[in-house]
Amino acid sequence: MLIETLIKLFKRDLERLKTEICLYKNESNLWVTPKDISNSAGNLCLHLVGNLNHFIGATIGNTGYVRQRDLEFSLKDVPREALLQQVDAVIIIIENTLKTLTATDLQKEYKRRVNEDTMTTEYFLVHLTMHLAYHLGQINYHRRLIE
């Protein structure tokens, strides 16, 4: 079933995110933005956690999470351990939320914005896995570029 696959993919890539964050030899390099690179690895990590907490936790799972998207890109020097704890917490939220979904839930309409085309919840969850993988690749590249 798609739910089990999505849980496995989210967990796999979020564990890889934690690995990438831990591979930075110098913790301060998580926040470095060299010329022509807009976002640091630390900010991309915060963005992924905020994105998943919002779209899966709050919107689907009714966790009450309130997203502060601007802070995902403006906060700096969050300790590595705090980033890792946030990733661990979102893994639990994703698993707990997705386990409650039925095949009917996956086919329900999911609409993020007023002027946006509608999509199914299933489509949007697959989109979120791709969004995670995209930024995970950026973090990997950032780490190799910086260190």
Asked if residue 115 has pLDDT above 80, the reply is no
Show me where the domains of the chain are located.
2-146
Distance, in Å, from the CA atom of 144 to the CA atom of 39, rounded to the nearest integer, reads: 15
Q: What is the mean pLDDT of the chain?
A: 96
Q: Are 44 and 138 in contact (CB under 8 A)?
A: yes
DSSP string covering 76-111: ----HHHHHHHHHHHHHHHHHHHTT--HHHHHSEE-
Asked if residue 114 has pLDDT above 70, the reply is no
Question: Which of 17-26, 112-121, 136-145 is least confident?
Answer: 112-121
pLDDT range class, residue 118, cuts 50, 70, 90: confident
pLDDT range class, residue 117, cuts 50, 70, 90: confident
Asked if residue 111 has pLDDT above 90, the reply is no
Identify which of 7, 91, 15 has the alpha carbon closest to the alpha carbon of residue 49.
Answer: 91
Note the pLDDT tens digit of each residue in 49-77.
Answer: 999 999 999 999 999 999 999 999 999 99
**2-146 carries CATH number 1.20.120.450:** yes
Note the pLDDT tens digit of each residue in 74-88.
Answer: 999 999 999 999 999
